Amino acid sequence: MRFPAQALSSAHSKLSHPRRERVTATPSPTVHPVDEVPAAQNLLVFGLQHVMSMYAGIVAVPLILAGALGLDATTAARIVSASFFMCGLATLVQTLGVGPFGAKLPIVQGTTFAAVGTMILVGKEFGLPGIYGAVIAGGLFTILLAPYFSRLLRFFPPVVSGTVITMIGISLLPVAFNWAGGGVGNPNFGSPGNLGLAAITLLIVLLISRFGRGYLGRIAVLLGLVIGSVIAALFGQVNGAPISSAAWVGFTPPLAFGAPTWHLVPILSMLLVMLVVMVETTADLLAIGEITGKKVGPREVAAGLRADGLSTAVGGLFNSFPFTAFAQNVGLVRFTGIKSRFVVAAAGVILLLMGFFPKLSALVASIPLPVLGGAGLVLFASVAVSGIQTLAKVDLSDTRNLTVVSVSLALGLIPSTVPGLYAHLPAQAQLFLGSGITAASLCAILLNILFNIVGSDRPRPSATATVAEHAPEPGDLAEH
């Protein structure tokens, strides 16, 4: 959900942003910012900032599923705990790499919303074992398809990648709006108290970001979340009961709800879901490449998709669900300028620990949604801005490029602006059209082929040049 003159960028940042002095290890000329290892004392704080910015996305999927399937509170809590553990493990695989698995980029892995509808239908018919059987099959399918899917990267020139990155940010903004109101379904949704809390949190983040120097400015989002939560607690908007009732130590063991079962229709449905996940993860990888100035080619995309597949397959054994790159955290990388993948790996370790210590996960989960919404506004909007920066390199005076961008964005906006438009279409069509990111991605790819490749005399960008040649230099986006 990633996303001003280059020649003067580095000098300008040093003169006009003194507070942005490095808080990470002194970089070597041969070490890319993505591969820098921050000082040990900073890893925990920067990693915690990632966790606190995205925890709501992790707990939402198991809670929605538990409610739809009528699971008891104990079962729901065990699934949430398993989700935290697997998100941490998946994030470590993606950031650090395990053999051919993992793009080694600052990507946080989380449970995807794309699978929720399918899992609810499967669960009502075959229960949790049927869901986990389909999830494992979907993960293995992704691993096998990853090297072939990554070859599609040649169809992601800047006119496509810029459109997709912009759409990621735009698609995330309604999430922040809903959080700011208190969450859809909340009887007090949109109340002055909720909106005021979101506004205060946003103001805190902006003021710290503007006037905080060095280290302080880099943790503006974390401080905004903490201070906003304290203010909410003073006004009685933080529920401490789940924290006090949560166990100190606990872990959901593998196959806690029975051995997976295998059924053809659920498996085929999950394979379609994983195709959507691969499109969205590819878009997130391209976005993080743009933000960090790191080359993202077919090899990196294939490794990232394999990590998705491995985490999804293992997650089915550990009572979790399909995984994808979390666009929320891409916005945090863009906003803070902290590009190190080891910071995100630290977030993975924290998520792992939250799977073993329920009280810790309950503490993080106590952050009120309006507080998250206030911080999310600036994070998600910054992703869209990254996409606009990429589109600035495209010749939009050419009607063909303009058509690709405008139609794709229009199609991508439909799910969030008119959510019921596709309600009468087949479930398979809703799966692809119901996600603004997926719809915009597919539309941009197809329209670019139609307008700029088929019968065109333009040279087609090579697979390796697609992102790398148009990515900003490593220092260009260090400031926000």
Q: Is residue 25 part of a domain?
A: no
> Looking at the domain assignment, is residue 26 inside a domain?
no
Q: Could you tell me where the DSSP H helices lie in 182-297?
A: 192-211, 215-218, 220-234, 241-245, 264-292
Residue 26: Cβ within 10 Å count: 7
Q: In the chain, which stretches have pLDDT less than 50?
A: 1-27, 461-480
Amino acid (1-letter code) at residue 26: T
Any idea what the Cα angle at residue 274 is, between residues 272 and 279, rounded to 5°?
105
- pTM tops 0.85: no
CA distances from 28 to 25, 37, 103, 336 (A): 9, 11, 21, 21
- Whole-angstrom Cα distance, residue 327 to residue 349? 19
Give the integer Cα–Cα distance in Å for 300 and 245: 43
Which residue's structure tokens are 């059987």? 133
3-class secondary structure, 81: helix
- Number of residues that this document lists for the chain: 480
Position 457 scores a pLDDT of: 61
Please report the pLDDT score of residue 416 as a whole number. 82
User: Are the C-beta atoms of 376 and 176 separated by less than 8 Å?
Assistant: yes
Q: Distance (Å, rounded) from C-alpha 57 to C-alpha 80?
A: 11
Residue 50 sits at the vertex; the CA angle it makes with 49 and 55, to the nearest 5 degrees, is 105
Is residue 219 assigned to a domain? yes
Predicted confidence at residue 6, as pLDDT, reads: 37
20 inside domain: no
H-type alpha helices, 293-392: 298-317, 327-336, 341-356, 358-364, 369-391
Phi-psi region of 187 (alpha: psi -120 to 50; beta: other; left: phi over 0): alpha
CA distances from 353 to 54, 247, 312, 323 (A): 16, 13, 19, 18
Task: Please give the Cα distance from 434 to 222 (Å, whole number).
Answer: 32
Region class of 472: left (phi > 0), else alpha (psi between -120 and 50), else beta: beta
Spatial separation of the C-alpha atoms in residues 163 and 207, rounded to whole Å: 31
| Pick from 342, 335, 383: nearest CA to 479 | 335
The answer to whether residue 52 is domain-embedded is yes
Answer for the pair 129, 257: CB distance below 8 angstroms, yes or no: yes
CA separation, residue 298 to residues 154, 195, 258 (Å): 8, 43, 38
Q: Per the domain annotation, does 234 fall within a domain?
A: yes
CA–chain centroid gap for 328, Å, is 4
Closest CA to 375 of 113, 106, 177: 177
Q: Which residues on neighbouring strands pair with residue 111, listed in sequence order?
A: 323
Model pLDDT for residues 368-408, shown as the tens digit of each residue: 888 888 888 887 787 788 788 888 888 988 999 999 999 99
323 beta partners:
111
CA separation for the pair 90, 78 (Å, rounded): 18
Which is it for strands 323-325 and 109-111: parallel, antiparallel or unpaired?
antiparallel
CB atoms within 10 A of CB 271: 16
Residue 312 falls within a domain, yes or no?
Answer: yes
In a domain, 22, yes or no: no
Q: Which two tokens stand for residue 425?
A: 């279409």
b/e sequence 465-479, b meaning 16+ C-beta within 10 Å: ebbeebbbebbbbbb
Q: Quote the pLDDT of residue 114.
A: 75
Question: What is the span of the domain harbouring residue 81?
Answer: 32-459
| Structure-token pair, residue 36 | 């820098």
Instruction: For residue 127, give every residue at least 6 positions away whose Cβ sits within 8 Å of its Cβ, in sequence order, or none.
Output: 257, 258, 261
- Looking at the 3D structure of the chain, how many domains does it have? 1
As a whole number of angstroms, the longest Cα–Cα distance in the chain is 67
Residue 435's Cβ-count burial label (10 Å; 0-12, 13-18, 19+) is buried
Q: What is the DSSP string of 338-363?
A: ---HHHHHHHHHHHHHHHH-HHHHHH
Which residue has tokens 């995100």?
Answer: 344
CA distances from 20 to 195, 342, 422 (A): 31, 19, 46
Tokens matching residue 130: 């049927």
Element (H, E) at 110: strand 109-111
